[in-house]
Amino acid sequence: MAKSKENYLPIPLPDRLDLSDEEALQAAVSFSQLMAKRHTVRHFSDRTVDLSVIKSCVRAAGFSPSGANQQPWHFVAISNSKIKQRIRQAAEVEEQNFYAGKGGDEWINALEPIGTDATKEHLEKAPWLIVIFAERYSVDDDGEKVKHYYVTESVGIAVGVLITALHQSGLVSLTHTPNPMRFLSEICDRPESNRAVMILAVGHPSKDATVPAAAKKKKPLKEILTILLD
């Protein structure tokens, strides 16, 4: 977000959710149950997704917290079939190199239970591709570069909110991170300040969509939570 220096100005909290302990627990359980139904899907249907849905989900991601409120992200939503084809072709070149040995045996073996390979049909099949860019710096009103802080962390949070918003809207998504991703900046016509982070394929699942059995194996709460009490 390009802007001149602003002074600190506190304002009263504009929005407040006042839930009872019981209501808070119900909300937390309900949301947990919703997220338990989120699946990464590689098989998309031909069903279209209205642009207004994509805009609303990206808007939700834009409300994410960020270092110094610099909001160091940019989203490029693509439904153009020719552009999607270009992205697929470029991504598959990198993927073929990866699976030919560039990725290393350990990494490739770790992916085996997921069933991925160098073919990325979903990049054309999905009705939307959302390419996420991290903005390493912005330019202020005087034309000076403004360094952004905690860029990786901030963009990661925003992507998580975006995926959650898409799931809330009844859509499925698939993260894709070809390496390197410089071709995305060229295809999407992004400035030097932008670094591509990932491609998010978005749409409705096909009728014969499957997910890897391994993907259903989630760590239990006791393995991901430590509680320290008084």
Say how many domains are in the chain.
Answer: 1
Share of the chain above pLDDT 90, in %: 84
- The per-residue pLDDT for range 136-185, each reduced to its tens digit, is 999 888 889 999 999 999 999 999 999 999 999 999 999 999 989 999 99
Structural domain contains residue 79? yes
Residue 104 lies in a domain: yes
Domain-located, residue 6: no
CATH number, domain at 141? 3.40.109.10
Its domain, for residue 158, covers 39-145+152-205
Structure tokens at 161: 């909110």
The Cα–Cα gap between 165 and 58 comes to 8
Residue 187 in domain? yes
174 domain-assigned: yes
Please say whether the beta carbons of 221 and 109 come within 8 A: no
pLDDT in tens, 189-213: 999 999 999 999 999 999 999 999 9
pTM above 0.75, yes or no: yes
Q: Which tokens hold the place of 1?
A: 């977000």
Across the beta sheet with 172-176, what order do the strands follow? 73-78, 128-135, 194-203, 172-176
Rounded CA gap, 204 and 41, in Å?
Answer: 9
